[in-house]
Chain A
């Protein structure tokens, strides 16, 4: 079935560093792709989404581009802050449900 694979963490960065979290997917069709973020002790929040090839989702300085040729949806941010410390999940929507990657824990140090 359809699935996503994201880079393992944890990832530790200094403030203002560049962040990339890799995500690749396997799907028979062209699913919608999402990034969710989970701050400590909270539920998951939608960070951004893309519904078709070459779409770029963006929010709060984060970006991800839906690349059909490489089946990827990598998350990037040019200058992270301590408040970006969280767990990030890549997800794929197929027919009726979201399938999630295992999550990547990001810690940003001041």
Chain B
């Protein structure tokens, strides 16, 4: 158990509505990540954080924002969800050893 939980695990929403996904860690690691997983694309980085209030964009950040007000929580927000954001979202944490540990994923469907 890597000490990382995501919520909600499943969500169905409609186009144009805001959505927030939460990632919570109990490991006190500095780095946290949000990836999305789509068939044929592997995992692509959306945003990452390297400390409280310190975040940066990944390769597919358009339409997403993040916040990290506490070490343990990293929030991913879709301000106005679109069908192209239907995906499985994974949060990850990184200890100093370098590898990432992933949560179980949040499946989002935008109708």
Query: From residue 80 to 106 of chain B, which have CB atoms closer than 8 A to chain A?
Result: 90, 92, 98-105
State in angstroms the CA–CA spacing of A97 and B58 once bound together.
Answer: 9
Question: CB-nearest residue of chain B relative to A103?
Answer: B42
Q: A34 and B42: CB pair below 8 A?
A: no
* Least distance between A108 CB and chain B CB atoms (Å): 21
Interface residue SS majority, chain B: strand
Give the chain A neighbours of B98 by CB distance below 8 A.
32, 49, 51, 93
* Least distance between B42 CB and chain A CB atoms (Å): 4
Q: B99 and A100: CB pair below 8 A?
A: no
Instruction: Please give the number of chain A residues whose Cβ is less than 8 angstroms from any Cβ of chain B in the complex.
Output: 19
Q: A102 and B42: CB pair below 8 A?
A: yes
> Is B50's CB within 8 Å of the partner chain A?
yes
Give the chain A neighbours of B43 by CB distance below 8 A.
44, 89, 98, 100
Instruction: Please give the number of chain B residues whose Cβ is less than 8 angstroms from any Cβ of chain A in the complex.
Output: 21
**Known contacts A44-B90, A93-B98: A100-B42 contact under CB 8 Å:** yes
State in angstroms the CA–CA spacing of A99 and B104 once bound together.
Answer: 19
State in angstroms the CA–CA spacing of A1 and B65 once bound together.
Answer: 23
Give the chain B neighbours of A97 by CB distance below 8 A.
33, 45, 48, 58
